[in-house]
Structure 1
Amino acid sequence: MTLYRDEAIVLRTHKLGEADRIVTLLTRQHGQVRAVAKGVRRTKSKFGSRLEPFMLVDAQLHQGRNLDIVTQVATLEPFGGAIVADYGSYTAASAMCETSARLTEADSATLQQFLLLSGALRSLSRREHAASLILDAYLLRALAIAGWAPSFTECARCSRPGPHRAFVPVLGGAVCSGCRPPGAAAPAPETVLLLAALLSGNWASADSADARTQREASGLVSAYLQWHLERGLRSLRMVERA
């Protein structure tokens, strides 16, 4: 029997039979793992509550042919309790975990994605910033780790120094007047500055943005994400915006 142990974030769960669950985990060292947690839906389960979405756990698993089997679980950080108590944080965390599940299906830089997601969930659980800002910062950085870093300070097509007024997800972000195609979005300069701040982690600037700027930035982040994932996120439609 091959056993292994790793830190993991619970991304999602699905019912299996009458008492079991299939859990999708993003682990620190083993990438994305799908495993069966036997008996966790029974009231006497020893670790059922530890395998809820958004929890950071230390898990021991038995390697299986198709699905692994969870044998032991210890809570490292109970992000889930604080997150589910606030609807805005819950919907933001759901969108983060769905994005993470999509981006790590092919084991793309999973350690960096693990660290990014755990930091974002910790920030949500502590209410360090507005939930929508944390979400947008996470989405931009997760896409950057996956190889789709957007450009906000120079033209994404010709590298001409900015700032530029047009934003085109297909071209990789902000573009100059010479590269701008017809029908391109023209966000306010404050919105482009907010996007750059979220990508770089300049929270002093991001926290000071007004509601209108945050809404416009969120729309551009959603469009950029949808283009690169090739389809929308179900959970993103439920997110509360400023």
Structure 2
Amino acid sequence: MPLYREEGVVLRTHKLGEADRIVTLLTRGRGLLRAVAKGVRRTSSKFGARLEPFMVADIQCFEGRTLDTITQAETLGAYGPAISSDYDRYRAGSVMVETAERLAEGAPSREQYALLVGALRTLAAAKIPADLVRDGYLLRAMSLAGWTPGFDACVNCGAPGPHTAVAVQLGGVTCENCRLPGSPRLDPGSVSLLAALLAGDWDAALASGERERGQAAGIAAAYTQFHLERGLRAFGSSRQ
């Protein structure tokens, strides 16, 4: 059976039999990959810890009829322990990897892969609050998928901002003439925070307050789930 090598982020795992696991990865070249890692639940396993969620690994696999089998794994990014050991980072990381898995159901995207690896690296470093890392990842992942939100001009008519009404179904902020009934109105600082997160401007994002972060988090979650057309399970345990 043909062998191949790939680089991938472990998104999730689940048990198979007494000693094996099925590992779901987002890979750099093949997109979403589900493969069997045999014997990794045994204490004698040499690479079980390298195939835990949030880890980045170089893997060798051989192709099978239904599922491929991982035969080797070398760690490229040991982000799992730092993320899993902190509740807030774990909740944020869980949202991120579930989003990545949903987006990977289409064609492979090296840009999405690089974005997730960078976001997990930032999350594990713990220098930026987990909620900001999560929301910045969500907005940029949606943008890479073709759904770039607009937080400056009105997304409906193009009227120059600033605007504070947000309609996720239209793709961002709207002027008063285009505002949809019932659409939320944010603080100006919350709109600025959303723009900073989308741009990856961490200095501006870190200057935000608790209320602004809460409002921005609600919009990032709603925007992501609207475009994925279904809820994210990880939000059930990650919403503040």
Instruction: Give CA-to-partner distance per residue, 1:182-237, whole Å, 9 cap, x none.
Output: 11111111100000000001111100101011001101111111111112111122
Residue 47 in 1 paired to residue 47 in 2? yes
Confirm or deny that 1:224 pairs with 2:223. Answer: yes
Letter of the structure 1 residue corresponding to residue 222 of structure 2: A
Match status 1:18 vs 2:18: yes
Q: TM-score, normalised by structure 2?
A: 0.97
- Residue matched to 1:187: 186
Partner of 1:236: 235
Matched, 1:169 2:174: no
TM-score, length basis structure 1: 0.96
Partner of 2:209: 210
Shift, 1:65, TM fit: 2.7
Tell me, what secondary structure is at the counterpart of 1:151? coil
Are 1:88 and 1:240, in contact at CA under 8 Å, matched by a contact in 2?
A: no
- 2:29 is aligned to 29
Shift of 1:57: 0.5
Residue matched to 1:114: 113
Q: Distance in 1 between matches of 2:132 and 2:220?
A: 11
Q: What corresponds to 2:137 in structure 1?
A: 138
Q: Distance in 2 between matches of 1:2 and 1:145?
A: 33
Structure 1 segments (4+ residues) deviating >6 Å: none
Deviation at 1:138, TM superposition (A): 0.2
Which whole-Å deviations, capped at 9, do the CAs of 1:35-67 have from their partners, x for residues lacking one?
011111111111111100000101011122321
Paired amino acid for 2:63: Q
Secondary structure (helix, strand or coil) at the match of 2:6 reads: strand
Hey, what does 1:68 align to over in structure 2?
68
Which moved further from structure 2: 136-145 or 150-159?
150-159
State the match for 2:124 in structure 1. Answer: 125
Across the aligned residues of Structure 1 and Structure 2, the Cα RMSD in angstroms comes to 1.1
- 1:89-116 deviations in whole A, cap 9, x for unaligned? 11111110000000001125x2111100
Moved more, 65-74 or 135-144: 65-74
- Kindly state the Cα deviation for residue 129 of structure 1 after the two structures are TM-superposed: 0.5
**How far did 1:239 drift?**
2.0
Structure 1 residue 6 displacement after superposition: 1.4
Aligned partners of 1:165, 1:12: CA distance in 2, in Å?
A: 38
Give the equivalent residue in structure 2 for 1:87: 87
1:67-98 CA-to-partner distances (Å, cap 9, x unmatched) read 11101101111100111111111111111000
Measure the CA separation in 1 of the matches of 2:229 and 2:151: 21
Between Structure 1 and Structure 2, how many residues are aligned? 240
